[in-house]
Amino acid sequence: MRLASAIRPATDREVPLAVDVLRRAGFGTQVARLLEYPRRSPDGVILVAEGEGGGVSGVACVAAFATTGWIGALGVAPEARRRGLGAALTEASVRWLRNRGAQTVLLYATEAGRPVYDRLGFVAEERAVAWRGVSGGAPPADLQRLGEPDRARLRALDLHATGERRDAVLDTILPLAGVAVAGDDGDGDLLGWAIASPWGAGTAIAAARPEVGVALMAAATAGPAAGTLIVPDGNIAATDALRAWRFVRLNDALRMRLGPAVAWRPDRQFGLFNLFWG
């Protein structure tokens, strides 16, 4: 109880301390960039567990969408582990998200995190894998540059792919840098889009058809430098393409949820923003 009550939103002074904890918890050197969204958005928060002497010993980053919410970048300093802080941070995150209207709380779990989430009632869905490499060149597809007028169509396809209303995060992407494939039946829908974001480990890609998704993946990683794509294992077309292009598996994580299943279509997601909010 004492630990749970010491979990609260980070002050500005504590953000660098939170970044340091997450680096030491193995989240890599780019994690500060990832924290910018929950730090600045009214729909996100960085929760910290107080350490000794005004320090920070644990961190959880949280992002709320309409009826879903995500817990990401949850880490406890190595010297403060196995005292219940990981569980307390998860519970505090769930409470924060439920207060914001989340019926389902989602996360991508590492092997170390899974037992903590299992105990709190999260159920396993499927894995997402981060891959790195250079594609063999883009297959033919009619790529257009994305622009401001495309926002509503971009949101519609994102809702179709994720089952979530992620406007809060999509609307933060300014300018909208990316490419899209328009539908061929003249109704104005997008068949696919690929966008870079300030907090993406990889390019985010959604597509209504496998060949469109694979073409966007190829375009996003055409080189010369290697690119990263994070893809749900359930997207067979995407995984087959990455294997054919000889991409290397960097790491993976298990999608878990607490609450009712979301109408998620992994076969429509060809790139996740990150392993924080998918």
Ligand X SMILES: CC(C)(COP(=O)(O)OP(=O)(O)OC[C@H]1O[C@@H](n2cnc3c(N)ncnc32)[C@H](O)[C@@H]1OP(=O)(O)O)[C@@H](O)C(=O)NCCC(=O)NCCS
List residues binding ligand X (CB under 6 A).
Answer: 25-26, 74-76, 81-87, 109-110, 112-113, 115-116
For ligand X, the closer of residues 75 and 133 by Cβ is: 75
Q: How far is the CB of 116 from ligand X (least distance, A)?
A: 5
Cβ-based nearer residue to ligand X, 19 or 218: 19
DSSP state of 80: G
The pairing of beta strand 204-207 with beta strand 190-195: antiparallel
Which residue is closest to ligand X by CB? 86
> Could you tell me the smallest distance in angstroms from the CB atom of residue 169 to ligand X?
19
Helix/strand/coil for 12: helix
At its nearest, how many Å lie between ligand X and the CB of residue 22? 8
Task: Write down the least CB distance from residue 58 to ligand X, Å.
Answer: 6
Q: 84 or 163, CB closer to ligand X?
A: 84
Whichever of 87 and 196 has its CB closer to ligand X, that residue is 87
Sheet arrangement for strand 7-9? 7-9, 44-50, 56-64, 68-76, 104-109, 248-258, 123-133, 227-232
**Residue in the block written with tokens 């694979």:** 214
Q: Minimum distance from CB of 23 to ligand X (Å)? A: 11
Cis peptide before 115 (omega within 30 of 0): no
- Please, which residue, 106 or 229, has the CB nearer to ligand X? 106
CA–CA distances in Å: residue 274 to residues 74, 129, 185, 228:
14, 10, 32, 10
Output the DSSP codes for 173-188. Answer: --S--EEEEE-SSSS-
